[in-house]
Amino acid sequence: MEGTVVAVVVVVLLALLVLRGGMRVVNQVERGVVFRWGKALPSHRQPGVTFLIPFADRMRKVNVQIATMPVPTQEGITRDNVSVKVDAVVYFRVTDPVRAAIEVQDYVFAVGQVAQSSLRSIIGKSDLDDLLSDRERLHEGLALMIDSPAAGWGVHIDRVEIKDVQLPESLKRSMSRQAEAERERRARVITADGEFQAAQQLANASRIMSDTPEAMQLRLLQTVVEVAAEKNSTLVMPFPVELLRYFDRATQKIDAQIRTQTGPAQTVPADTVPAQAVPAQAGPAQTGEKGAQAEPVVPGPVVPEGAGPEAAGPEPVVPEAAGPETAGPEAVASEPVASEVGGPESVEAEGLGRGGAARQG
């Protein structure tokens, strides 16, 4: 009897040891892949307590959480021949633990290598502007390129994002100058548009003021109020241009009335203008300032002392526009005397000589 009890106790202890050796615990974020005699079972073990056959089963736990893997910086040349350095980050998770444990040796390393090659491929197919501005489309294309081989490994790519794009310093300076020129162009366009609109409004205002002259007076008074509002001792009073135009029209009317009352200017015939005699005191003072040449003057006959008025004879008449040929020989002869000889003695001697010649005749 005692031997039987001992045997039962030994069997129970062995059973407990076997059960203890085959019991496993799977966490909530993991799934268990069981290999029995080296062959994977088609179904994986769910979270919780699971039992394995001792010495026959072996279990491998696979994490099914979303993993974050940074992609190292990749250097490449874009489609528009710009050298850039790009780094990214990949978010993925395991959807089929059995395939992730069987199909690939290390699915994390495999996903990392595919992400690097796909990133270099995206750099070569894209322009620099797309890398800088249109990243959403690049993210979708990069996730699709990585997810294609990873789907066969039981891995799903949730998303891929480009973190940073490193540009050469020379390219950064060129882009900054381009951006500055673009901003300056926009500023000039906006300024020109503002001036155009202001000119249109001013043209409309001028037409309104021309139709209603009272608006100009109101605007004048408003300007005076604005100037006087400031604390200064100077008052600027604009002078209306219409007042000057009024004075101009009044002056033209007065000139027209004067011309109408006086009639056309009368012209005096040339043969009625008497000749002027050269005075006895004609000298250099009558030739103008600073030795200017005097105008030619036709002298009359000089009467000697003691002679009567009959000896003088009639005075020669020279027309206004007549030249030296119409004045007679005496006028032609006297012209160089008046211009070359400036003293009164020369004029008297010439006159005495002519008077003697007249008496002899």
pLDDT band at 1 (very low <50, low <70, confident <90, very high): low
Check residue 135 and give its pLDDT: 87
> Region 136-160: what's the mean pLDDT?
89
Check residue 113 and give its pLDDT: 92
Q: Are 308 and 269 contacting, i.e. CB atoms less than 8 angstroms apart?
A: no
- Better-scored residue on pLDDT, 175 or 266: 175
Asked which of 27-31, 213-217, 285-289, 308-312 is least confident by mean pLDDT, the reply is 285-289
Cα four-point dihedral sign 319, 325, 328, 329: positive
Mutual angle of helices 213-229 and 169-211, in 10-degree steps: 120
Nearest to 250 by CA among 260, 242, 261: 242
Above 50 in pLDDT, residue 339?
no
Question: What Cα–Cα distance (Å) separates residue 239 from each residue in 159, 220, 244, 245, 250?
Answer: 76, 9, 9, 12, 18
- Better-scored residue on pLDDT, 93 or 349: 93
Nearest to 62 by CA among 110, 91, 99, 24: 99
Check residue 183 and give its pLDDT: 92
* Tens-place pLDDT, residues 8-23: 777 777 777 777 777 7
> Tokens in use for 56?
């026959």
Above 90 in pLDDT, residue 91?
yes
Q: Are 302 and 354 contacting, i.e. CB atoms less than 8 angstroms apart?
A: yes
Cα distance between residue 181 and residue 176, in whole Å: 9
CA dihedral 146, 151, 156, 157 (to 10 degrees): 10
Query: What percent of the chain has pLDDT above 70?
Result: 68
Cα four-point dihedral sign 240, 245, 251, 257: negative
Check residue 318 and give its pLDDT: 45
